[in-house]
Structure 1
Amino acid sequence: MMINPQMDKNHLIDNVESLLAPAAVVDWRRMEPWTVARAELSGLRGPVIVKWVRPHAAGSARSESWRLRTEVAALRFLADDLGLRLAPRVVAADLATCVVVLEDLGPRVALDELLRTDGAAAHGDRLVSFARVRGELNAATAGRAEAYYGRRSALGAVDRVADCAGRFAGFREEGLRQAAERGVALGDGAERELAAVLAELADPGPFLALSNGDPEANNVLVRASGVPDARLIDFEFAGFTHALHDAVCLYVPGPGWLSVDAGLGEVYREALARGVAEAQDDRRFGFGLAAACFSFVLVRLQRLAALDGRAAGDDSRVQLVATVEAAARVAESFGVLPGLAGWAWRVGALLRRRWPDADVELSVLPAYAARRR
């Protein structure tokens, strides 16, 4: 939750103590650079996590206060309505002052930190737990949109259409424009397939499920040793959307990686199928997955112009090539969207010619090879 507004520490402590009276704060550790702190309070068995924003933060419709309300609604929906232990529990909240106290999931740590430090080979069981918990979230919440939005609407207006479209949907046209300007426009067949993709994502049918809105490995906490016991965090952009948006990160490199382990997708799919029977249908699952992957590709392509200006050797160039080509492989593996797959291969070839430094053999990269910042 990287935001600028600051709140006086003493005022925050007063708010927390008021919410959890008669407990008193005995230790306060800010978790920079976020507006998050870990607090120890007398009378409590362990620490809690405190998140805050200014009550009337200015900005877009999805302002900081909007996001905090969304997180509270989503976490209470999971814990109180569904009885799930997939994410932290809300201990207390004062949404008038935008202060929320959450269960501390320590000693778990962010999965991406472990992958960057030790490599994926050292954490195979944690990656499996990551894939499974994403599928479990989607499976348990499919068909429960009305219950969630009843709870969310009680905390303020919410746009279901925007939730389903995804937080970056507006970048799709820009990505297409930048690719076309460089000589790789969609052909007629690919254009028809793209229309079908957007229709699938706008109307997911049985695949409509809750997502936290950012399914990457930085938003899952696992135990560094023993049973991984994964938990999901950061529900500020939560909403009901196509479940297979949450599977993209298992097949296509996300912003932090040059490679992933696509075998994890079957772990996710097995967990999803327990709540969404249609996930067992290769054609149905494959089309939805490829649609979500190509949507992600279009979002990432809007960075093309910026990467043109980077110095040779910048990992972001290799990462974009890997993203585009991985989406093409997903479509081909399920025998769907051949026009878009062909277009993606052409985009990948264009980028390799344009950036000789990015013309590398991706298959030799280990799973979760990190993109250097």
Structure 2
Amino acid sequence: MSVTAASGFAAAGVVAGLKSSGKRDLAIVQNLGPLASAAAVFTTNRCKANPVLWSEQVIADGVVSAIVLNSGGANCYTGARGFQTTHETAETVAERLEISAGDVLVCSTGLIGDQLDLDLLKAGVWDATLALQSAGSDGPDAGLAAAEAIMTTDAKPKEAVQVSPAGWTVGGMAKGAGMLAPGLATMLVVLTTDAPLDSEQLDSALRQATRVTFDRLDSDGCMSTNDTVALLASGAIGVNTDLDEFTAALTEVCRSLAEQLQADAEGASHDIAIEVVNARTEDDAVAVGRSVSRSNLFKAAIFGNDPNWGRVLAAVGTTDAEFDPYAIDVAINGVQVCVAGEPGQPRELVDLTPRAAHVLIDLHAGEATATILTNDLTHDYVHENSAYAS
């Protein structure tokens, strides 16, 4: 189970006809209460899709009763007509569920620059709301159907759950396989909890969780226009909730979803964790890890099973982080290939045939650390993204 694991939520995923594949392409997650508190974070791209512009207004008061998501079109750079489509989609959900349109988040994903078919969207909302009213809309099958409906180039749905000893639950679903880079990575994520938390508490927990998970997923260095991570609380489990404990559980759900996004990245053959240790500051550690993750030379080398640690150091040296360039250590999959800026163990000892690859960079400049998740650069990635719109 994912978004329906927490009490007080129902979900549905249906075929609206927005995708030519005939697969599910519209989902609704409804918060049944008694609370309707919420928080959300969005792409930091200045070029934002219409659903993001709408949802930024909706979340301002911290109240959300439902979220509607579609694949099959991003509804971005579609002008006033596109924003009206978003507005009318929210209005249709509100009418069907007898809630306010101002309490409906809207998310879209797919190709930029194409208008969505409003009639298909409305018909899909009708079918989804009928499904919400049926038995089983709060069960695992309903959660899975919703997770499938938001997929684009994803190979499989992404779901995660954490249950606390106190009895409250955090569940989540995500989509994303390409354009994975901060802010947030190219994703739609819905997180739910039955803990009785208000919107300020949810916002604090969500920003702490995304900062060390989704914001450190950097698969291909490309930032989306539609990224949305929403957290909804029903308060259906009326038990005292420690905010630190909740934040830790939420972070684990986000980490699991981020790792699933990484593992499903378009065409990837290696999942790479770039761990930077002993940095002067956490920001320095993030900057160094991100620079390596965005080096096409490094990513191509990993694809070719070539432990070319010189490409790691070359990327590290482009940052403004504080370190001595000739005191850096680098290990790849446990082999210390560079020690204090000089050759260490023979690179031939590094085994890069497994899918998992770990790069450890020791800056010897402080005590801060950070890990960036990325993937290799493959022929399949180039092929898939050369034909995305065809």
| TM, length-normalised to structure 2 | 0.28
Specify which structure has the higher proportion of strand. Answer: 2
Specify which structure has the higher proportion of helix. Answer: 1
| TM, length-normalised to structure 1 | 0.29
